[in-house]
A and B are shown apart, each in its own frame.
Chain A
Amino acid sequence: MGKVIVVTSGKGGVGKTTASANIGAGLASQGRSVVIIDTDIGLRNLDLVLGLENRIVFDLVDVVEGKCRSFRQALIKDKRFDNLFILASAQSREKDAVKPEQMKKLCKELEDAFDYIILDCPAGIEMGFKNAIAGAHEAIVVTNPEVSAVRDADRIVGLLEAAEIKNIRLLLNRVRPGQIQKGQMLSVEDIQDILSIELLGQVPEDERIVHASNRGEPAILDMKSKAGNAYRNVVARILDPAVPVSAPDTSIWSKLRRVLTADLGAQAG
Chain B
Amino acid sequence: MSETVSSNQAQSLAAEGIAVQLRSNKKIMWEKFLQHKLAVVASLFLLLLATLCFLAPVIAPYEFDAIDLYNIRSAPSMKHLLGTDALGRDLLTRLLFGGRISITIGLTAALLGSFVGTVIGSSAGYFGGRIDNLLMRFTDLAYSIPTLPLIIVISSYSNTQAFGIVVIIGLFSWMQTARVVRGAILSVKENEYVTAARALGAKDRLIILRHVLPNISNSIIVGATLGVGNAIITESSLSFLGLGVSPPTPTWGNMLMDSQATMASQPWLTVFPGMAILLTVLCVNFIGDGLQDALDPTL
Q: Do A and B make up one complex?
A: no
Interface residues of A (CB under 8 A from B): none
